Amino acid sequence: MTPRTLATLTGLTAVLMWAALGLMTAASGRVPAFQMNAMAFGISGVTASVWLALTGRLAVLRQPLPVWALGVGGLFGFHALYFTSLRLAPPVEANLVNYTWPLLIVVFSGLLPGERLRPHHVIGALLGLVGAAAIVTRGEGLNIDPAHTGGYLAACASALTWAGYSILSRRMGAVPTATVAGFCLMTALLSVPCHLAFETTVWPESATQWAAVIGLGLFPVGLAFFVWDHGVKRGDIQVLGAASYLSPLLSTLLLILAGWGAFTAPVAFAAVAITLGAVIASKDLLVRRRPSAET
């Protein structure tokens, strides 16, 4: 297994962890979005920083301003814009617009040095988008209302922010992945004033809800960002982008298994479209090219 393949597989574990985001959020009670952001990113940032301190690597957080701008802008900016879109537009439409970020990663990856965008990458990502649309809309179509333009624009901005963060992280490949610890801490701190300004504080009411919050901070809103950083910097970024559409599918299936949904025709269609898209986009990873014949 090549280092690039191993990095790609490592990055794909982020997609699996993000799939648990819906289930863990549902189990966490009624904690509002920005408060959850502050709590979960606080857990991940503090945990990772303590680990850096114990291993004598805390100095890795001393990075130039552009690195901090990219990291904090990516993590906090994406979540802030996404939550804003949900406030200003219907969640279904806002979610679908937001889920264009995997497709944007695939398309923008063609601008990276040493990367070549091939038709099967785009086809795979488009199939994933179609599948995500089936999941998000539940097969009921969309109701685009110009009155919610601000929300749609915020959703577009959130998608562009995460795609841009992922692509530009590749350009900063020399920055250690451990730096994400600092990005998580700053995201938590910036979420606090947003929570105080827009939300009413609601604490988890049971041990199960607290366990869900801690689980979010350790995995979907913690470790996932570290392995994603490693994957986009050293793996196949087109495969990672297209395969990211597995996240909403797996998230829906987990919620169904937990009793918070039903397996419907749109879910079945999404499963086929997203899986097929991921396989097509991963052709280079799954099929080893034959060496050219010597002349």
Residue 206 DSSP symbol: S
Full-model pTM:
0.92
Q: What is the count of structural domains for the chain?
A: 1
Domain-located, residue 56 = yes
Domain-located, residue 293 = no
Domain-located, residue 59 = yes
Domain-located, residue 289 = no
Whether 290 has a pLDDT exceeding 80, the answer reads: no
Domain-located, residue 295 = no
Domain-located, residue 188 = yes
CB–CB of 286/52 below 8 Å?
A: no
Domain-located, residue 290 = no
Straight-line distance from the first to the last Cα atom of the chain, in angstroms, rounded to the nearest whole number = 28
- Whole-number pLDDT of residue 291: 46
- Whole-number pLDDT of residue 293: 43
Structure tokens at 34: 């920005």
Helical ranges in the chain per DSSP H:
3-19, 21-27, 33-54, 65-88, 91-98, 101-108, 119-137, 149-171, 180-198, 207-218, 224-234, 237-243, 246-257, 265-281, 283-286
Whether 162 has a pLDDT exceeding 90, the answer reads: yes
Could you list the residue range(s) of the whole structural domain that residue 115 is in?
A: 3-284
- Whole-number pLDDT of residue 286: 73
Q: What is the mean pLDDT of residues 81-99?
A: 91
* Residue 15 pLDDT level (bands cut at 50, 70, 90): very high
Angle between helices 119-137 and 101-108 in degrees, nearest 10:
170
- Whole-number pLDDT of residue 112: 92
Domain-located, residue 252 = yes
